[in-house]
């Protein structure tokens, strides 16, 4: 398996008003976006070309991702952590990674 193009841990993932995990993972690798629980179980995955990622106007630390007709709210960081510090990357980096992996321009 190739090295992931994007990986974030400690991510809150929700669907509508329901929280699915508070310490989940988001990965982009091998042309797929995967949403995982803190235990590594798959919540959902889809080919990166079929995923739409955006940022809601009301939040800097959140991204919205549409996978297989389901909209997920992904809470990352509002800024990138300092080098060597733990914490999820900024939501902006996730959105850029999805667009880059799909070959789309921002």
Predicted confidence at residue 78, as pLDDT, reads 67
Contacts of 83 by beta carbon, 8 Å cutoff, 6+ apart: none
Task: Give dist(CA 8, CA 39) in Å, integer.
Answer: 14
Which tops the pLDDT comparison, 94 or 83?
94
**Residue whose pair of structure tokens reads 């992996």 in the numeric block:** 101
Q: Kindly report, residue by residue over 7-57, the tens digit of the pLDDT.
A: 998 999 999 889 999 999 999 999 999 999 999 999 999 999 999 999 988
Phi, psi of 58 (to 5 degrees): -95, 0
Q: Is the pLDDT of residue 2 over 60?
A: no
Give me Rg for the CA atoms of the chain. Answer: 13
Q: Is the pLDDT of residue 1 over 60?
A: no
**Residue whose pair of structure tokens reads 């982009």 in the numeric block:** 28
């Amino acid at each position: 398996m190739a090295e992931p193009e994007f990986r974030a841990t400690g991510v809150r993932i929700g669907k509508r008003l329901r929280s699915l995990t508070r310490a989940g993972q988001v990965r982009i690798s091998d042309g797929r976006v995967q949403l995982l629980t803190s235990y590594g179980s798959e919540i959902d995955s889809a080919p990166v070309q079929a995923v739409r990622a955006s940022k809601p106007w009301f939040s800097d630390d959140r991204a919205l991702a549409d996978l297989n007709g389901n909209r997920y709210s992904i809470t990352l960081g509002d800024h990138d952590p300092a080098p060597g510090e733990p914490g999820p990357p900024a939501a902006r980096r996730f959105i850029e990674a999805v667009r880059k992996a799909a070959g789309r321009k921002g």
